[in-house]
Amino acid sequence: MQFETGVSIIKVLTYFDIFDYPVSGDEIAFFLERPADSDVLSETLQELVEEKYIFLIQDFYSLHNDAALVTRRLTGNRKAQSLLQIAQGISRFLFQFPFVRGIGISGSLSKNFAGENADIDYFIITKANRLWLARTLMHAFKKLSFLTGRQHWYCMNYYVDEAMLEIREKNIYTAIEVITLFPVQGDGVFDAFFRENKWVNAYYPNWNRAECREKTNAHQSGLKRIMEWFMDNRLGDWLDDYFMRVTTRRWKKKEDEKRVSISGARMGLHTDKHFSKPNPVFLQRDILTSYNNRLSRLEEKWEKSYL
């Protein structure tokens, strides 16, 4: 067995084990931390299975010999297909909000999985210096979705603008989020986004950004053009700064009070003139800590180094 390839395979399985998610051979090849010959990969996978380091159940590999995990995955994959259709329709609608330049699907849905109470998460790119205007208008609309119980279809939780497309936090979690991002609406802005985030290739060299193309949509409604014209001036500058201050102050209060979401996760927002995103101190840190801890436990169990 080629040791380096085996280590890389274990790292892939360990990461997705955090989410109880078995992965296919093709997915392992995609997420390897180094290029690997297909024959070498197949032979290494077979040896790992034979030595019971990992388990092959149907067409999926896992650290656990648990068929229920595969059943859960397949059920989530099927549900994701129907939610993706809904998400694409909603994305076309959200793209018509003023100053929105790109809409992508992120989170578990971008990985073709939807749990029982799945949200639809969106990654949104706005015009430079108009992020907070766009975000405020979109979240004002989201409040209406509570009336119909569809608020989980409108989780607009990650915004960047064209002035700062590079993701600041560079780690395995953010790299996976970038390479699995599913662009849906835009007019070339995601090409610029992926160019600004070439650093992900250091984590996942088998990812090819040339394959990531959003559906070009140059059409903008008349209302969108009028609202942009009306606010593309000093008034718009003032409103954008004002909404940033108000939102930042409100979310700081939530963090200080240690509020949690319905799922029990800490609520937090990391804000800047050019981005609005979940505070990496919470979920992102927890996932990275869990990943490293799991690798450490495997080291102890197998007396091999994977970190």
Range in 59-63, 113-117, 169-173, 194-198 the model is least confident about: 113-117
| In the predicted structure, residue 217 carries a pLDDT above the cut 80 | no
Rounded mean pLDDT, 233-248:
97
Contact (CB, 8 A) for 166 and 197: yes
What average pLDDT does this structure show over 182-191? 92
pLDDT surpassing 60 at residue 211: no
> What is the number of other CB atoms lying within 10 angstroms of the CB of residue 134?
27
Whether the pLDDT of residue 305 is over 70: the answer is no
Q: What string of DSSP letters covers 44-82?
A: HHHHHHHTTSSEEETTEEESS--HHHHHHHHHHHHHHHH
List the domain boundaries for the chain: 3-65, 76-286
Min mean pLDDT across 34-38, 164-168, 286-290 is at 34-38
What CATH architecture is 3-65? Answer: Orthogonal Bundle (1.10)
pLDDT for the residue numbered 233: 96
Q: What distance in Å separates the CA atoms of residue 107 and residue 229, rounded to the nearest whole number?
A: 33
- Per-residue pLDDT reduced to its tens digit, 95-124: 999 999 999 999 999 999 999 888 999 999
pTM value is 0.92
Residue with tokens 């397949």: 74
Residue 226 scores a pLDDT above 70: yes
Greater model confidence, 163 or 35: 163
pLDDT at 208: 80
Using the predicted structure, report yes or no on whether residue 146 has a pLDDT greater than 90: no
